């Protein structure tokens, strides 16, 4: 900043050589010949001032700052874009949806949603803060993760029930009907449902099935079962729980089978496309029959649940299985399986073609051990 003075200058400067700002014409600042009037209050007029240009000393002092500002703007990522750095040097951009089961889901505008193995991610930056759930249960928020594979991260942007801020309730119900009014009069109705409630590490499942068929007004199929389970999720791989199971099949002479006991579960795969889990346990079984004496025994139990999406949002293959084996008689095996193809429609509705197979090794005489059912079902998921 210069300071005007009325004293003669040794270099021949005089007050007449001052510009409108009070500085030398050859000093730090030099005026334009045109002046720009200020917006002024008529009651309090202000003198006009000159549009100033940077002289060489000022340009030299501000040039580095301008260069750094331009460099910062050029290197800053675009707003609204999240970036993922991979261990092989690649960088992906999009919107981070979540990370769970060791897979990061990134929604890209050019390739749609993609899944990235979490152990391949070394850096992550987002525009909005991420909610990060650590393996010890702590929750933090951040817009950046560096060397993410070294952090004990369990999930990113978890759902409310995972952090204890809410509950999850979901389920599905399906109906299969077959009405014949030709030479043979038959009615068939199959209904099945499954519900699940979750909060933190607690999970409750309730499922059931009803089959009732008639031919010429005579009952040809009358069976149902109900299964209730409680799980405690110990880790993404392991859980344990207890169950209670009721089943009847009046045509086969089974008035009631009751089974209850603990089990250990293993969740091998849990991704949006593929799921695979199994359970092993020990059950106390009590059976009551129509024509033969009842039976009580200890049994080993198992179950298998797997599904895989063959075509995204178009076709899903699934297989569910549960069984019992009498520890005193290995021939007394009881097996129920459901295998099918499921096609989502829209709005939670779906249709599926299913084969249900049941095997009972302890049935009485004149009763077939295998029972097969082919069904076309219409369902709704919520």
> Read out DSSP for 130-180?
EEEEETTS-EEEEEEEESGGGS-EEEES--HHHHTSS-EEEEEEEEEEEEE
CA distances from 20 to 41, 47, 51, 52, 58 (A): 21, 10, 10, 10, 18
Do residue 202 and residue 268 come from a single domain? yes
The answer as to whether 150 is a domain residue is yes
Q: Within a domain: residue 317?
A: yes
Q: Say if CB 301 and CB 331 are below 8 A apart.
A: no
Do both 181 and 314 map to the same domain? yes
Q: Could you give the C-alpha distances from 257 to 199, 286, 304, 369, in angstroms and in order?
A: 31, 6, 20, 16
One domain for residues 262 and 351: yes
- Residues spanned by the domain of 109: 82-158
pTM: 0.69
Clarify whether residues 147 and 288 are in a common domain.
no
Residue 317 maps to which CATH number? 2.40.160.40
Q: Are residues 248 and 132 in the same domain?
A: no
Q: How many domains does the chain have?
A: 2
Instruction: Mark whether 152 and 200 lie in a shared domain.
Output: no
What is the Cα–Cα distance from 195 to 203, expressed in whole angstroms? Answer: 11
Contact 367, 346 (CB under 8 A): no
Residues 149, 179 within the same domain: no
**Same domain as 239, residue 209:** yes
CA distance 305 to 311: 19
Same domain membership, residue 119 and residue 92: yes
Asked if residues 25 and 19 have their Cβ atoms less than 8 Å apart, the reply is: yes
Tokens of 134: 């650590």
Grouping H, G, I as helix, E, B as strand and the rest as coil, residue 63 is helix
Asked if residue 175 and residue 151 are part of one domain, the reply reads no
Domain stop point among 102, 128, 158? 158
pLDDT in tens, the chain (382 residues): 444 444 444 444 444 444 444 444 444 444 444 444 444 444 455 454 443 344 444 445 555 544 444 444 444 444 458 999 998 999 999 999 999 888 899 998 888 888 898 888 988 899 999 999 988 888 889 898 886 556 788 899 999 988 888 899 999 999 987 665 555 566 788 899 999 999 999 999 999 999 888 887 788 888 899 999 999 999 889 999 999 999 998 888 889 999 999 999 999 998 878 999 999 999 999 999 888 888 899 999 999 999 999 987 789 999 999 999 999 887 789 999 999 999 998 888 999 999 999 898 776 666 778 888 888 899 999 8
C-alpha dihedral sign at 355, 360, 364, 366? positive
Element (H, E) at 354: strand 349-360
Give 237's DSSP letter: S
Q: Please indicate, yes or no, whether residues 224 and 337 belong to a single structural domain of this protein.
A: yes
Residue 117 lies in a domain: yes
Are 117 and 146 part of one and the same domain?
yes
Residue 375 domain-assigned (yes or no): yes
Q: How far apart are CA 259 and CA 229, in angstroms?
A: 12
**∠ Cα 98 104 105 (to 5°):** 65
Of 123, 158, 193, the domain-final residue: 158
Q: How many CB atoms lie within 10 A of CB 223?
A: 19
């Amino acid at each position: 900043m210069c300071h005007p003075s009325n004293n003669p200058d040794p270099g021949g400067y005089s007050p007449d050589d001052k510009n409108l700002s009070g500085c030398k014409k050859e000093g730090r600042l030099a005026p334009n010949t045109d002046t720009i009037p200020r917006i002024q209050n008529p009651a309090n007029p202000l003198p006009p001032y000159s549009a100033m240009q940077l002289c060489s000393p000022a340009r030299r002092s501000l040039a580095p700052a301008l260069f750094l500002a331009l460099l910062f703007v050029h290197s800053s990522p675009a707003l609204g874009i999240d970036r993922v750095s991979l261990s092989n040097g690649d960088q992906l951009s999009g919107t981070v949806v979540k990370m769970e089961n060791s897979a990061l889901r990134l929604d890209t505008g050019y390739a749609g949603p993609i899944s990235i193995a979490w152990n391949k991610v070394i850096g992550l930056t987002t525009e909005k803060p991420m909610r990060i759930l650590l393996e010890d249960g702590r929750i933090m928020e951040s817009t950046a993760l560096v060397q993410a594979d070294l952090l004990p991260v369990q999930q990113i942007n978890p759902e409310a029930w995972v952090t204890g801020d809410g509950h999850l309730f979901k389920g599905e119900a399906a109906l299969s009907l077959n009405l014949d009014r030709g030479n043979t009069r038959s009615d068939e109705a199959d209904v099945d449902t499954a519900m699940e409630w979750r909060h933190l590490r607690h999970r409750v499942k309730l499922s059931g099935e009803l089959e009732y068929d008639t031919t010429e007004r005579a009952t040809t199929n009358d069976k149902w079962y109900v299964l209730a389970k409680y799980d405690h999720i110990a880790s993404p791989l392991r859980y344990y729980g207890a169950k209670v199971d009721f089943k009847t099949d009046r045509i086969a002479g089974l008035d009631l089978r009751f089974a209850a006991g603990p089990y250990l579960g293993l969740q091998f795969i849990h991704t949006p496309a593929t799921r695979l889990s199994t359970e092993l346990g020990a059950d106390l079984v009590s059976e009551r029959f129509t024509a033969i004496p009842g039976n009580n025994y200890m049994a080993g139990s198992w179950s298998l649940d797997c599904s895989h999406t063959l075509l995204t949002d178009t076709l899903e293959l699934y297989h569910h299985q549960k069984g019992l084996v009498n520890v005193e008689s290995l021939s007394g095996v009881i097996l129920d399986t459901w295998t099918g193809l499921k096609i989502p429609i829209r709005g939670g509705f779906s249709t599926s073609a299913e084969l249900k197979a049941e095997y009972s090794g302890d049935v009485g005489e004149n009763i077939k051990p295998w029972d097969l059912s082919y069904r076309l079902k219409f369902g709704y998921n919520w």
